[in-house]
Amino acid sequence: MKVQTISIGCDHAGFPYKEAILRLLKKRGIEVHDFGTSSPDSVDYPDFVHPAANEVETGKADLGIIMCGSGNGVAMTANKHPGIRAAVCWKTELAALARQHNNANMIAIPVRFVSKRMALAMVRTFLDTNFEGGRHARRVGKIPCGGKTPAGLETLPTLNE
């Protein structure tokens, strides 16, 4: 898959990293839909992640990059969108596996736990890695549950039984 368009969003913690990532994407000739934030002033990450996730979900962007301090808040927000598979990554191997095995379409970067250099390396890996399909496609196909309990899970015993 040749990535042509990226949506990007972050909170105040991610702002300095976003600026570096934007430079990388520009060098690669990738069109960027930047949903902010545009300063290091404190903001609420969902305000910037929902529009970025919507772009990926609706096909207006090929992939997305989201950032906050831990990566968890932005990933949780993005994953509320039915067509999104956002993966929190803190090393290049995770970014590669997120694409190869999970067909992740958004990478969530925990900027308080990775260097800017590592973040850039993860973005390069995420963009350059394709989904393998095969058995992984079957597994990824079982992720959505449409607001219902996935088939079979309601009959599984709990640890308390």
pLDDT, position 12? 96
Assigned domain for 161 exists: no
Q: Check which CATH number belongs to the domain holding 12 and give it.
A: 3.40.1400.10
Answer yes or no: is 160 within a domain: no
Is 105 domain-assigned?
yes
Inside any domain, residue 104: yes
Residue ranges of the chain whose pLDDT lies below 50? 156
Tokens describing residue 117: 């250099």
Q: How far apart are CA 43 and CA 139, in angstroms?
A: 36
**pLDDT, tens digit, 9 for 90 and up, residues 71-84:** 999 999 999 999 99
What is the residue range of 113's domain? 5-155
How many angstroms separate the Cα of 27 from the Cα of each of 15, 95, 147, 156? 19, 20, 41, 50
Within a domain: 80: yes
Cα 90 off chain centre by: 12
Q: Residue 44: inside a domain, yes or no? A: yes
Is residue 81 part of the annotated active site? The answer reads no
Q: Give the number of domains in the chain.
A: 1
Spell 49-65 as b/e; 16+ CB within 10 A means b.
bbebbbbbbeeebbbbb
Query: Six-digit token pair at 160?
Result: 């308390």
Name the β-bridge partners of 10.
Answer: 67
What pLDDT is recorded for position 150?
A: 54
What's the pLDDT at 106? 98
Q: Is the C-alpha dihedral spanning 6, 8, 14, 18 positive or negative?
A: positive
Decide if 101 is catalytic: yes
What's the DSSP call for residue 153?
Answer: G
Q: Which of 10, 68, 81, 89 is catalytic?
A: 68
What pLDDT, on a 0 to 100 scale, did the predictor assign at position 41?
A: 94
Evaluate whether residue 55 is within a structural domain: yes
This prediction's pTM: 0.89
Q: At what angle do helices 116-128 and 15-27 cross, to 10 degrees?
A: 40
Q: How many residues does the chain have?
A: 161
So what's the pLDDT on residue 157?
52
